[in-house]
Chain A
C-alpha cells in the first residue's frame, strides 16, 4: 500500500511539473516563435501613451530580456526559495511559495490567490453537498418509481439543469430571488465565514443552489441509471428473499453498488471546482479563484495565469490522487495492478 501511495504521489508531482512547463511555454515561448520581441510583449504592461524608453525599462524590469529558460528558472525558484522584489522605494522579500508579481499591478500573486481560495472552497463545498444529497436522493426515488410522474418530471428538470448554462440560470435566479422577491443576497455580497457566518451563508445560498442545480441533474441521472442496474441484480433479489426490510435492501445493497462511480465523479468534480468555478464566480461576482483566472487571462497577466493554473492543477491532481487512493481502499485489485 505504501509503495502504491508513493508511486501515485510521485506521478502527481511529475504531472504538476509538466503542467508548469507547458503553461510557461504557451505564454512565454509561443509569442516569441510568432515574432514577438521583449519590447512588443512589454507594450502590454505600460500606459497607453508610453514612450519607447518606458517600454524598454518595463521589459527590463519584467526580465523579458533574459533567456526563457532563465525566466522559468527564476519563477520556479521563487516557489521553493522565495524571491526579492523591488517596489521602487525599497527591495522586499517575497517568501515561498512566491509565484511572482503581477505584470499589471506589480503586486505579489500568492497573497492575492491565497485570499481567494476560501471563497472558492466555500462555494465548492456548499454546492457539492447540496448536489450530492439532492442528486442522489432524486436519482434513487426516480429509480424506485420508474415511469411515474415524479420520475418523468425530475428527469425532465435534470435534463434542463444539465442543458442550461450557469450564466443564464445564475442571472435568472438573481433577477427573481434577489431583485424581485428580495429573498437572497444580490451578486457581489460575499462575506468571510470568520467575519459573519450568517452573512456568509446568506450570500452563498443562491450560488450554491444554482451551481448545485447544474451538477445535481447529472448526478440524479447517473444515480437513477446505477440504481436501476443494481436493483435488478441477483444479490438484491437474494436480499429480498432473505426477508430484509425494503429500506435495508435499497440503502445497503442497491445504493451501495450504485455509489461507486458517483464517488469517483464527485471527487473529480470537486477538484475541478476548487480550481475555480469560473462561470459561477463571474455571474455572482464572487471574488474567488475562478474570477481571478478570468482577469488574469483577459489582462495577459502571465504570473497570475501561471499561479492560478498551478493552483487549479494542484487541486485536480490532488482530487485524482484521493480518488485513486480511495479506489485502492475499496477495491484491493487496484493495489495489486
Chain B
C-alpha cells in the first residue's frame, strides 16, 4: 500500500470511524515475529522463551492503575512484590526459574533460609556481607530490623500486610519506631551483630520463611527513613534505583552503580533502564502492547475482555500469549447464618444445582476466566488435591435431581428465596449472579441479586454479619488470592472463623467451623512443610463437606509477551512473568 493510498484509507476511516477495531487488529498482521525462539501459545509457561544475556535498552512498562505504594514496607500487590525486587532485596525471595521451581524460596539478602529454634518460635538469618545501598553504605542487620518494625506502624502504613505485628513478640503497646522511639524491641527482633538478625515470635510458626520473603524485610536505613514520604524515594539495594518518581503518573529506574553481581546470584539486570507509566487507559494499554509500543503490562492480570478477540482467534498473535494459572479462587460464600441455609442440605442443593460452566463463562471462559474449580486450594498451592464432593456429571451444568433430593431433605421441596450479593463495579460478578439465578431457579431456589459498592462490600454489606442476617443475603460472590503459594497464605483469611468481626470487614463471610480453626493452628505450628501440606488438604475437604463455599474457577489470565522481550517465563509464585529475568533484544 503506497503512502498516498494509506492516507486516503485513513481519511475514509476517520470519517466513518467504523473500522477501528479491525484496524487495531490488523496492526499485528503486518508484524513478522523475528524472535529466535519459537513463538507459540504458552511458550513461556514452563520454560524460558527467547533466552539471552544481552544487556542494554529501555524497558517500557505500563500500569492501568496506580501503584499501591513503592515503599516496600507498605506495598501489598503481587505484581508490586514481583517488581520491587528490581530495587530492593528482601531476606528471601522466590527462585527465578520457570515451572514448579518458582515456588521455592531461596536466599536473597540472607545467606540461607531461616534457621528455626525453640520449635519454630525463633528464626535466625545471616545477612550477606558487602551489599550496598545506592549511596554506597553497607546494609546492616539493624536496617532490616528497622524496616520490619516501621512496617508495624499501622497509622503510617495502614495498607501493608499485618503479619509481623500479629506474630512478632513486640512489647505491649508498641506502635512502631516513630511513635515508640527508644523502646527496647529485642523481645521481637535481635541483631547480635551487623550480619545476624533473630526474630522472636509469640508462638511457633512453621512458615516464617514466607514472611521473610515479603518486601517488608527489604532494608531501610533509619537515617533516611521519611515515614509515609519514603515512597517518594526508596533507597535502593537492588540493581536499579529511582531516577525520577512522579507519583500517580510515572517513574523511572536506572542502574544502581553500587549494586554488585558478586553479592547477588539471582538477578540478571539486563535492561539499562525501566520507564513505567501509571494510570494508562486499559484498552489503550492492550493496543500498545500488541503493537509493540510497550514491553510489559506490569499488573500481569491479562488482557482486557475487549482484547481477547484480538489475540485468541489469530494464530500469530496467540503465539505471543501465555495462559498461566494463579493462586486465586473465584467463589461464592454460602452463609449458614441465613435461614434456611442453616440447614446443610439446603446448602448442598446449591452446590448441586449451580451451573459450573455458567460460572466459568461469567468470569471470562477458559482462557481469561480459568478452570472450573471443585476445591478451595488452587492447583498451584502445595497441598492441593483434586476431589469433588458434589459431582454433577460430565457436562458440569449441575445435577438437578440431586439438588431436588437435597431440598427435600432440607424440608424445602419447592425451593426457597434468598439474596446474592456482588460488587456493582464488577461486570463478571454481575454475570455470575445472573447465571446462578438462572441455574438455581431450575430447582425453585429464587435468588435476588443485590449489587453493592466494592469499597464497602465487606465492611458494610456482604462481610458485615448483622447486615447479612437482617437483609437475608444467603450468598455472596467472593474471591481470594493467596499472599504467597502456601496453605496459610491462601486459607487463613477465608476459613478461620476468628477473623470474622461483627463490625464487618472480613473476607471470610461464611466459614465458622471450630475444627477448621484447630487444624489451622496445628498447621501453623508445624515447621516441616511436608507435614503441613496434608493439613491444608484436610481443611479444604472439611470446608467443602460443610458446603459453605461454592468454588467457581481457579483463576487464569491471558498474558501477552511484549515484542522484543528476552528471558520470558512465568514465575509460578506470582502467576505472571518473572520481572527479575526479563531483558531486551
Q: Which residues of A contact B (CB under 8 A)?
A: 35-37, 39-41, 43-55, 57-58, 60-61, 86-90, 104-107, 112, 115, 157, 160, 164, 168-169, 171-177, 179-181, 186-188, 282-285, 287, 291-292, 295, 299-300
Q: Tell me whether A47 and B161 are in contact in the complex, defined as CB-CB below 8 angstroms, given that A105-B69, A285-B277 are known contacts.
A: yes
Report the bound CA distance from A199 to B153 in whole Å.
Answer: 43
Q: Tell me whether A180 and B23 are in contact in the complex, defined as CB-CB below 8 angstroms, given that A88-B155, A157-B15 are known contacts.
A: yes
Name the distance in Å between A277's Cβ and chain B's nearest Cβ. Answer: 13
Which residues of the partner chain A approach B464 to less than 8 Å between Cβ atoms? Answer: 40
A187 and B284 contact, CB distance less than 8 A: yes
Name the distance in Å between B155's Cβ and chain A's nearest Cβ. Answer: 5
Q: Which residues of B contact A (CB under 8 A)?
A: 6, 10, 13-15, 17, 20-21, 23-24, 26-27, 62, 66, 69, 76, 150, 153-162, 165-166, 176, 178-179, 225-232, 246-249, 277, 279-281, 283-285, 287-288, 291, 293, 455-456, 458-460, 464, 483, 493, 499, 501, 503-505, 507
> What would be 19 A-B contacts, judged by CB atoms less than 8 Å apart?
A40-B464, A44-B456, A45-B159, A51-B166, A58-B154, A88-B179, A89-B230, A171-B20, A172-B20, A173-B20, A175-B23, A176-B20, A179-B23, A179-B24, A180-B27, A186-B293, A188-B62, A285-B280, A285-B285
Q: Tell me whether A179 and B293 are in contact in the complex, defined as CB-CB below 8 angstroms, given that A44-B455, A51-B162, A300-B455 are known contacts.
A: yes
A88 and B507 contact, CB distance less than 8 A: no
A-B contact count (CB 8 A): 192
Report the bound CA distance from A168 to B24 in whole Å.
Answer: 13
The list of the 7 closest CB pairs from A to B, nearest first, reads A88-B227, A88-B156, A89-B227, A172-B20, A43-B459, A87-B227, A187-B284
Name the distance in Å between A305's Cβ and chain B's nearest Cβ. Answer: 12
Which residues of the partner chain B approach A51 to less than 8 Å between Cβ atoms? Answer: 162, 165-166
Q: Tell me whether A40 and B10 are in contact in the complex, defined as CB-CB below 8 angstroms, given that A179-B291, A283-B284 are known contacts.
A: no
Q: In this complex, what residue of A is CB-closest to B16? A: A160
Q: In this complex, what residue of A is CB-closest to B463? A: A43
Could you list 11 further interchain pairs (A-B, Cβ under 8 angstroms) beyond the known A44-B459, A105-B66? Answer: A39-B505, A41-B459, A43-B458, A49-B493, A49-B499, A104-B159, A105-B248, A106-B156, A175-B21, A180-B23, A180-B26
Q: Which of A43, A87, A107 contacts B505 (CB 8 A)?
A: A43
Q: Which of B62, B154, B287 contacts A179 (CB 8 A)?
A: B287
Report the bound CA distance from A60 to B155 in whole Å.
Answer: 8
Q: Which of A175, A186, A287, A291 contacts B20 (CB 8 A)?
A: A175
Question: Which secondary structure dominates chain A's binding surface?
Answer: helix
Q: Which of B21, B228, B249 contacts A106 (CB 8 A)?
A: B228
A173 and B158 contact, CB distance less than 8 A: no
Q: In this complex, what residue of B is CB-closest to A177? A: B10
Name the distance in Å between B117's Cβ and chain A's nearest Cβ. Answer: 27
Q: In this complex, what residue of A is CB-closest to B501? A: A52
Q: Tell me whether A283 and B503 are in contact in the complex, defined as CB-CB below 8 angstroms, given that A54-B162, A58-B154, A89-B227 are known contacts.
A: no
Report the bound CA distance from A179 to B289 in whole Å.
Answer: 10
Which residues of the partner chain B approach A44 to less than 8 Å between Cβ atoms? Answer: 455-456, 459
Q: Which of A40, A55, A282 contacts B460 (CB 8 A)?
A: A40
B158 and A54 contact, CB distance less than 8 A: yes
A188 and B247 contact, CB distance less than 8 A: no
Which residues of the partner chain B approach A284 to less than 8 Å between Cβ atoms? Answer: 281, 284
Which residues of the partner chain A approach B248 to less than 8 Å between Cβ atoms? Answer: 105, 112, 287, 292, 295
B288 and A186 contact, CB distance less than 8 A: yes
Report the bound CA distance from A181 to B14 in whole Å.
Answer: 12
Report the bound CA distance from A257 to B438 in whole Å.
Answer: 62
Q: Tell me whether A50 and B505 are in contact in the complex, defined as CB-CB below 8 angstroms, given that A40-B460, A177-B10 are known contacts.
A: yes
Report the bound CA distance from A57 to B154 in whole Å.
Answer: 7
Q: In this complex, what residue of B is CB-closest to A92? A: B229
Which residues of the partner chain B approach A175 to less than 8 Å between Cβ atoms? Answer: 20-21, 23-24, 27, 287
A89 and B277 contact, CB distance less than 8 A: no
Name the distance in Å between A32's Cβ and chain B's nearest Cβ. Answer: 12
Q: Tell me whether A88 and B505 are in contact in the complex, defined as CB-CB below 8 angstroms, given that A175-B20, A181-B6, A187-B280 are known contacts.
A: no
Which residues of the partner chain A approach B20 to less than 8 Å between Cβ atoms? Answer: 168, 171-173, 175-176
Report the bound CA distance from A283 to B179 in whole Å.
Answer: 44
Name the distance in Å between B65's Cβ and chain A's nearest Cβ. Answer: 8
Q: Tell me whether A58 and B284 are in contact in the complex, defined as CB-CB below 8 angstroms, given that A40-B503, A172-B20, A176-B13 are known contacts.
A: no
Q: Tell me whether A187 and B23 are in contact in the complex, defined as CB-CB below 8 angstroms, given that A40-B504, A181-B6 are known contacts.
A: no
Which residues of the partner chain A approach B277 to less than 8 Å between Cβ atoms? Answer: 188, 285
Q: In this complex, what residue of A is CB-closest to B179? A: A88
A43 and B153 contact, CB distance less than 8 A: no
Q: Which of B166, B229, B291, B455 contacts A87 (CB 8 A)?
A: B229
Report the bound CA distance from A295 to B153 in whole Å.
Answer: 26
B229 and A295 contact, CB distance less than 8 A: no
Which residues of the partner chain B approach A179 to less than 8 Å between Cβ atoms? Answer: 23-24, 27, 287-288, 291, 293
Q: Which of B69, B165, B248, B483 has the most CB of A within 10 A?
A: B248
Report the bound CA distance from A233 to B98 in whole Å.
Answer: 79
B503 and A291 contact, CB distance less than 8 A: no
Which residues of the partner chain B approach A287 to less than 8 Å between Cβ atoms? Answer: 248-249, 279
Report the bound CA distance from A233 to B161 in whole Å.
Answer: 74
